[in-house]
Structure 1
Amino acid sequence: MTTLTDEAVRPATHAKVRILATADRLFYTEGVHTVGVDRIISESKVTKATFYKYYRSKDALIVVYLQGRDRRARELLAELERRFDTPEQRLRGVVAEISAQVIREGFHGCPFINAAAQFTDPTHPVRQAVAAHRDWYGRSVEDLFRGMGHARPGDASDDFFLARDGAFAGANLGDPIGAHTALIRAVQRVLDESSD
């Protein structure tokens, strides 16, 4: 049983968690290069020493931010796998989630594409985190198309990602409804190929 004394001693949220939550919000809404360490420290209500205790640099924090976003995507696919019986239902679930994201208030595009645009060196840890996410995601979508019996699951996955990335960019540039409907049409065309 938690006592009043325990609650008074334990911080509401651990500093490391607060830093990451603050960074996640600011990096996504304003961009990873735009937001400085001092602002993250201030809004997290931690000291500079505490920040550097948990994150040795801003770039290290950006990598952890992207790994957190990657983990959420993996959890979503795992949830869709539990919820739906067939690969097509799971893929449609992915498309439904993307569609919901692009029309959601506060949508600012794909966090991975946004971060990659700000780091040009493919060997940089941020770009490696982006690549790891996209490699996993691409393999997962290709497996869904393969499970549907698509004749060219790799090509279908490539087409899916072109449509997905385009929807994220189009919605971020100001036409979320157009992006949503174009995504649905494009994915349906790829799905129709699997029944040809």
Structure 2
Amino acid sequence: MLVILISRYKLGRSVSLISSDIGSQGAGHMAKPGKDTGAAAGKERLLETARRLFLRHGASNVGINDVTNAAGVAKMTLYNNFASKEALTVAVYEEMASLTLQALKRARSGSKTEEGRIEAIFDLFGAATGNSDYRGCPFIHASLQEAQPEGPLYSLVQAYKKELRAHILAALEEERSVRSELADQILMLLDGAVTEAYIKGVADPINVAKRAVAALMRCGA
């Protein structure tokens, strides 16, 4: 199992994005839950509440009081689990990245063809665009809201994007002579489609991007 160390900022703990080897095992491996204690339940409630609020309003627009009030827990419960709001924010996006990478692994492993694997990746992201709270890529939003240009969230997002590209690369046939460049092009089309799905400058961005990718794959060797 590959463990990518995102950063060692003063967050009360090291932040890491855990994923399996992309080529053989896929990405994302969640640890098995331990004994269900009150403290663990409180932590999970905080993470779930913060995730919902961050996605809806943006992490920079949500305060500690907003999270604890919505979660129905005392502020001390939050600080017993997270050293700061920054630590909570990184933990939320770290968990989202891990879950997304797991879903990507399942999506691309469900098809035996190159075209099917790439299409499944686009369909996975496309499924999220119908949500009423959809605001585009949450990871890009998070990195832009960070005060430090290259702080812990930026590092986490950068690592996530590299893993996403690795999934795309793994979905392509190894025999392709321009496989690496094609993976870059597909990632750029995916990012653009995800953004357009929120901005709505294009009526059906996911399917438009899928058709563009299909054309690229036909042209690429």
TM-score range, shorter chain: 0.7 to 0.9
Whether contact under 8 Å (2:169, 2:179) holds in the other structure is yes
TM-score by length of 2: 0.75
CA deviations over 1:47-89 (Å, ceiling 9, x no partner): 1110011111111111111111111122112212442223432
Whether contact under 8 Å (1:170, 1:176) holds in the other structure is yes
Match of residue 142, structure 1, among 162, 169, 172: 169
Normalized per residue, the structure richer in helix is 1
**1:141 & 1:81 partners in 2: Cα distance?**
9
In structure 1, the residue matched to 2:75 is 48
Aligned CA-pair RMSD: 2.1
Whether contact under 8 Å (2:104, 2:124) holds in the other structure is no
**1:121 & 1:53 partners in 2: Cα distance?**
25
Q: Percent identity?
A: 24
> Secondary structure of 1:149's partner?
coil
In structure 2, the residue matched to 1:158 is 184
In structure 1, the residue matched to 2:203 is 177
**2:207 & 2:105 partners in 1: Cα distance?**
25
**2:42 & 2:202 partners in 1: Cα distance?**
35
Whether contact under 8 Å (2:119, 2:210) holds in the other structure is no
**1:181 & 1:82 partners in 2: Cα distance?**
21
Task: Specify the structure having the higher radius of gyration (Cα).
Answer: 1
1:6-155 equivalent positions in 2, closer than 5 A:
14-119=41-146, 121-145=148-172, 147=173, 149-155=175-181
Cα drift, residue 101 of structure 1? 2.0
In structure 1, the residue matched to 2:6 is none
CA pair 159-82 structure 1, distance change in 2 beyond 3 A: closer
Normalized per residue, the structure richer in strand is 2
Runs of 5+ in structure 2 lacking a partner? 1-36
> Secondary structure of 1:113's partner?
helix
CA deviations over 1:71-112 (Å, ceiling 9, x no partner): 112211221244222343222111111222223432111111
Query: Which structure is richer in relative contact order (CA contacts within 8 A, separation 6 or more)?
Result: 2
Q: Tell me the matched-pair count.
A: 184
Whether contact under 8 Å (2:107, 2:124) holds in the other structure is no
CA pair 106-156 structure 1, distance change in 2 beyond 3 A: same
